[in-house]
Amino acid sequence: MNQLEQLKAYTTVVADTGNFKQLAQYAPRDATTNPSLILKAVQQPDYAHLLEEAVQAHRGAPLPDLVDEVLVRFGREILNVVPGRVSTEVDARLSFDTAASIARAHHLIALYEAAGVPRERVLIKVAATWEGIQAARALEHEGIHCNLTLLFSFCQAVVCGEAGITLISPFVGRIYDWYKKQAGASWDEVAMAGANDPGVKSVVQIYNHYKKFGIETEVMGASFRNTGQILALAGCDLLTISPDLLGQLQAAEAPVTPALDVREAQLMDLHAVVYNEASFRYALNDDAMATEKLAEGIRLFAVDAAKLDHLILEASR
């Protein structure tokens, strides 16, 4: 049995891609997308027609509405392949605007439901800023399920759990990138691998806290750089994995054993933590890695969102 099949015995495997034609061979339950993945996909010959068709069918609509039509079109295609849920992201440029994020989420869900897709099969992705978490809190109260992304710190996870968010996506690889860059020539790849990887350690801390205190928010490790990071989180609720790494797991036969366990977490001597807005902002500010990677992630997604805007405008002329 290959490593991908073994991993599925302990963890729900999710595909992190806009390239839905690759999905079937890995049989993931869910799929996640983001502005960068959709931008990459629409520039490929196999998918360019989806953008063209969405724009032509809604010519004259405001640009944000056209963007949402394209995102939902990809989401619907993905849901034809996976049996579970798709994550569709709210524009990163709204990351500090609670009301606008809620409005955009409403529009995305309305488009899915108009196409016959029940809201239970959609996760609205929002950046885990204070404003984004409050938007998601309100959406969850309406039965719109959310995936809080760009999550790099324990305080973000704690507030998401308290807010009743359906799922969070801690970014393993980007945490690893930051610490590796900071260490420079002194970085020891072997010593910092597996359970010692700083990105892995972040997810383990969050997972154990959630399970210890009965927090129902699902933990989905994301942004992996290698299969070692993935296997070190076997047992996590979900892991969202790029097609390249899914392929590597499928090609490997070494044994996979669970690294995370609910019962073990429940027996740990952990202390409850609570944040209000002020203490959350201070804790996030006090974590240089999380502060930098959250800001950088929003900027990078915003750049790709603007590029997608440009492609849609060109197609609508």
Counting beta carbons within 10 angstroms of the beta carbon of residue 112, is it exposed (0 to 12), middle (13 to 18) or buried (19 or more)?
A: buried
The DSSP code sequence of 1-61 is --HHHHHTTTSEEEEE-S-GGGTGGG--SEEE--HHHHHHHHTSTTTHHHHHHHHHHTTTS
Name which of 85, 95, 92, 94 is nearest 144 in CA terms.
85
Beta bridge partners of 122: 86
CA distance 240 to 134: 24
CA distance 89 to 99: 15
- 125 counts as catalytic: yes
Counting beta carbons within 10 angstroms of the beta carbon of residue 252, is it exposed (0 to 12), middle (13 to 18) or buried (19 or more)?
A: middle
Contact at 8 Å (CB) between 222 and 32?
Answer: yes
**C-alpha dihedral over 52, 58, 63, 64, to 10 degrees?**
-100
- Greatest distance between any 2 Cα atoms in the chain: 61
CA distance 50 to 53: 5
Tell me which of 125, 211, 212, 293 is the catalytic residue.
Answer: 125
CA distance 155 to 249: 32
DSSP 90: P
Name which of 74, 66, 89, 85 is nearest 19 in CA terms.
74
> Which sequence positions are flagged as catalytic?
125
